[in-house]
Structure 1
């Protein structure tokens, strides 16, 4: 009897969580405004209670999936009794209602983490931060309960079995990609809350950036990994062999990442020099607003994509209203408070301060470029002005040159000094690195690939220009310390995080440049006994079999692969599956991964007489795309564990001198 009531219990838990989020939003903010400690004390217990009840509600929905309770509409539409248990577990967030509940769970988790790890912050600041996060939680829990109830019943007409999970989502990628992406999306709510709290409290100084910076790094690292996982998933799941399609939903995740990258650098300048305060607050608002915009695009029904959920206009209208309220109120608070609490810190245009500002401006320009290409077609359609499609040519034409310019300033940054330095000194530091990057970048394609390509050389020059000045800066720091061991001990974890992050960008650029220009692809007809040569490898189909999986039928090809001039061989096994419940065909790609190349085989259509269409690809350096993203994320996490973020500190006021310790960007 109790198991039949699980959905109602979960729904009731969400209602209680909504009430707690509302009190978390109202009481602490009112207490901070009127200086009433008792009201401010509501913040932490309400955050903990909200988190516990949302967790309980989420577990109730998970239990409904595991128990095959097809009286719940969400389960009936997205699961099946034949679905393996691990896909039932991930199917909870493989749909609109469940994904919004996961978003609310992540938001409650971030809120609880802030309440737990902010014991050393002033009570009024914590109250404002948790109050702002409570307002966001209230909006999303209302969205779940009013328009996207995951516990809605199909009574009395309960189906005998479910419609099954979309075959595109029956993959390991669904298990890890959305949680990582959502952790990044939602994590930016923390720095947004800190920024608004600093404005409300009149504490727009370097202290709030020091409190907010670790949370921003963690959120950025999660989003970086989430985007990389999405790219990897699309690469091997869709059967096209591409790693980025400029799909509007892909762009929706890239937008907050670009703005968040600018925010990371701006926070570093504000913490170190006390400058760019208003700009940093604006970037915090922009980054979280773009996270909400991504939610609107994916869940409003305005986009048609393999990534998109929901087709109900009322849901899109609700999120659009939530986005408008969040952006409108935050900009209103900024307009009213920023002029009163901010002040200008002078700096020279020949300094690290100026280079980071230019870096920020370029990142914002790139963000706006992607935003316009993503949203402009939607606006035209909504206004009845016709339908247009903005695809890769637009994005590549604008994104690539802007990225190259951005790389120029990334190379200059680590070798420059705060406040002021001479152009002659900067040239002296960078001339050798620049010459080496130019020579190696031009000659490397000839030596490695045997065929010179302008775009590959440009990518290598840009990547080396990022890396070599950092190497020079590292040797300078070690030399100044007198010995390698002493020099390495003096370097902070935040510095190493900066090095890893920039190295990751360089590795990704090399991967993009090489795989985009040196990929070899052939579409061929193969039957048992047939062979074909691609990029120095011979592919021979030895066998073709049929088999039955847990919830699908599959045609499986066994392809022996050998390299020209080598006696060693290996077997690749691509499949063409037909999922029974939905009658939907899917391609299961065969991959032979390697650090310097991937071999990629995808089955196409049955051509009759035992022959199949096959797409065979040789993809050099494609793994470097995701290796670079992992290095970037590792750099973000490494910066968080720096010693200065573990020390107990008294609040720093705007009159206190900023720290003289090196704060890498």
Structure 2
């Protein structure tokens, strides 16, 4: 049995049900559904975290019956490159990104302001929005499963399955290994820092949506700490990425070039910086509209950056593939985020006039 694939499916089902029951508890004001949602969230998060460790195990062991391992790991790679292969491809990067969201949501629930506001409608709706975001990533993982496995068809031809848990694995004799450009120390540092920063943007976005929907100004108490986390990790990720580019690509002796993906990661850093500055002035009654706008726009820009990287519509050293089903899902997700944010911001803007 393909345990990793099963974990992804279980986590996906648990995450989706956690979102639906959480939303239902907000609508019905029924605590029983919230308790059920929290248990489902725990199951989904645990499934993803275990799947991450399992994928690392397969990458280190170069278990090439798994398509992802075959594409990104090989016996000639040092152990730290095999470990770094966890985020070398789309499937692995989505996996750790989703894991970070679940972990950060759990931290929010049990610590700081989140613990204080845990029983409020504000926190419940923020949690629902975060689980919706996680559910989209879980859908992407189900479609592009990091535990897709090679098997032999009846005609003896190797093919890949991402749904058959009980397919007889076909072990490929060697792995392709990592792209030579990625075989660098910065590969172990730069991508996970960016994904930590990207994942942390989920909480400010969700809090802003909840605050605007419920007209509860306490949302920034939930959001600002995670915005600082996002800014910190994004700063480190972009900085280390610049050193990596200078060292490997030699962009005309510059640490920065206006590569589409590189630039799309810088813009949410700028909006996060603006948010942190605006937050200092909110107590003086300023930026009441701009603060939630910056929280929303920052996360939307992160998803746009993801779309740029994974759609293949822009030529970049960072992009992975042509426009596929995953790209269309991200594009639709981007439209949903933008549309809902615009409606809530418009209601606040015109409501304040």
TM-score (norm 2): 0.88
Partners of 1:43 and 1:130 within 8 A in 2: no
Map of 1:151-170 to 2, 5 A cutoff?
Answer: 151-156=147-152, 157=158, 158-170=171-183
Quote the residue 1:364 is aligned against. none
The structure 2 residue matched to 1:75, chosen from 55, 61, 69, is 69
CA distance in 2, matches of 1:286, 1:12: 35
Greater length-normalized contact order (CA 8 Å, ≥ 6 residues apart): 2
1:43 offset after TM fit, Å?
Answer: 4.5
Structure 1 or 2, whichever has the larger Rg, is 1
Deviation string 1:582-622 (CA, Å, 9 cap, x unpaired) is xxxxxxxxxxxxxxxxxxxxxxxxxxxxxxxxxxxxxxxxx
CA distance in 2, matches of 1:192, 1:276: 17
Deviations along 1:296-336, one digit per CA (max 9) or x if unpaired, are 01111123322222335222112111111122123223334
Greater shift in the superposed pair: 20-29 or 296-305:
20-29
CA contact (8 A) 1:43 1:131 kept: no
Hey, which of these two has a bigger chunk of strand by percent?
Answer: 1
Deviations 1:269-301 (A, max 9, x none): 22x124322221111111100000000011111
Alignment of 1:647-658 (within 5 A): none
How is 1:202-601 mapped onto 2 (pairs within 5 angstroms)?
A: 202-203=215-216, 205=217, 207-240=218-251, 241-270=253-282, 272-336=283-347, 339-340=350-351, 343=352
2:162 counterpart residue number: none
Q: Distance in 2 between matches of 1:338 and 1:63?
A: 51
C-alpha change, 1:330 and 1:20, in structure 2 (3 Å) is farther
Match of 1:105 among 96, 99, 103: 99
Show the counterpart of 1:16.
10
Give the 3-state SS of the residue equivalent to 1:154 in structure 2: strand
Distance 1:144 1:122, change over 3 A: closer
1:141 aligns with 2:135: no
Measured on the aligned residues, the alpha-carbon RMSD in Å equals 1.8
Deviations 1:625-658 (A, max 9, x none): xxxxxxxxxxxxxxxxxxxxxxxxxxxxxxxxxx
- Is the contact between residue 11 and residue 48 of structure 2 (CA under 8 Å) also seen in structure 1? yes
Structure 2 match to 1:194:
207
The match for 2:46 among 29, 47, 52 is 52
Q: Deviations over 1:127-151 (max 9, x none)?
A: 11111000001111101112x2111
Deviating more after overlay: 188-197 vs 19-28: 19-28
**8 A contact 1:186–1:291 mirrored in 2:** no
The DSSP-based 3-state class of the residue aligned with 1:277 is: coil
Count of aligned pairs between the two proteins: 332
Between 260-269 and 69-78, report the one with greater CA deviation: 260-269
1:494-534 deviations in Å (ceiling 9; x for gaps): xxxxxxxxxxxxxxxxxxxxxxxxxxxxxxxxxxxxxxxxx
CA contact (8 A) 1:47 1:115 kept: no
> Counterparts of 1:58 and 1:18 in 2: how far apart (Å)?
14
Q: For the residues of structure 1 that align with 2:289 and 2:35, how far apart are their CA atoms?
A: 29
Q: Is the partner of 1:273 in helix, strand or coil?
A: coil
Q: Is the CA contact (8 Å cut-off) linking 1:187 and 1:219 kept in structure 2?
A: yes
3-state SS of the aligned residue for 2:129?
helix
Q: Deviations over 1:239-260 (max 9, x none)?
A: 4432001111110110111111
Decide which moves more: 222-231 or 100-109.
100-109
Higher relative helix content: 2
Partner of 1:111, secondary structure, is: helix
Partner residue of 1:476?
Answer: none
Distance in 1 of aligned mates of 2:127 and 2:104: 10
Q: Which runs of 5+ in 2 are unaligned?
A: 153-157, 159-170
Deviates more, 1:281-290 or 1:21-30: 21-30
Unaligned runs of 5+ in 1: 345-665
Shift of 1:30: 2.4
Match of residue 96 from structure 1? 90
The residue that corresponds to 1:426 in the other structure is: none
* 1:99-155: CA deviation from partner (whole Å, max 9, x where unpaired): 121221222222222222221115222211111000001111101112x21111122
Identify if the C-alpha distance between structure 1 residues 195 and 120 changes in structure 2 by more than 3 Å, giving closer, same or farther. same
120, 129, 151: which one pairs with 1:132? 129
Matched residue of 1:275: which SS?
coil
Question: Structure 1 runs of 4+ off > 4 angstroms?
Answer: 336-340
* Cα distance in 1 between the residues matched to 2:332 and 2:349: 25
2: CA distance between counterparts of 1:37 and 1:200?
20
Counterpart contact for 2:260–2:315, Cα < 8 Å: no
Residue 29 of structure 1 corresponds to 23
Alpha-carbon distance in structure 2 between the residues aligned to 1:94 and 1:308 = 12
